[in-house]
Structure 1
Amino acid sequence: MSTGDPLAGFDTIVHAPHRLRLCALLDAAEEAEFGVVQKQLSLSASALSKHVSVLMD
C-alpha cells in the first residue's frame, strides 16, 4: 500500500487532458499538419494554438 503523494510525477503542463492527447498524437506521427491535429482533437484553432504554445514554452 502506497502512502506517497498521489500526484507525484504529475506534470500539470503535459498532463492536462488536451495537451496529453496532443503529445500522444504527435508522438505517434513523424509530422502532422495543424488542421489535421485540430480536427483529431476537436479543438478550435485558437485553443490548439494555446496548448501548443504552452508545451513549447
Structure 2
Amino acid sequence: MRCGFCGHEFAEEEGNVGCKNCPMSGGCKMIKCPRCNYENPPEPALVKGLKKLFKREK
C-alpha cells in the first residue's frame, strides 16, 4: 500500500495498527505508515487482487 501523506510504499503487515479505542465496532481499521505514522485506510480486496495479478506478470 502507499501512504497518502508521504508516498512511502509498504506492505500492510509492515504498518502499525491504528488505535484500538475507537468507538467503531471492532476498533479502528486504519493502518499507520511505518515512516510518518499517518493513518491510512486498508486497501480494498480488489486493489490487492490487481496488484497480485500484475506482480505475477513481471
TM-score computed with the length of structure 1 as normaliser: 0.31
- The structure showing larger relative contact order (alpha-carbon pairs under 8 Å, at least 6 residues apart) is 1
Q: Which has the higher strand share?
A: 2
Q: Which has the higher helix share?
A: 1
TM-score computed with the length of structure 2 as normaliser: 0.31
Rg: which structure is higher? Answer: 1
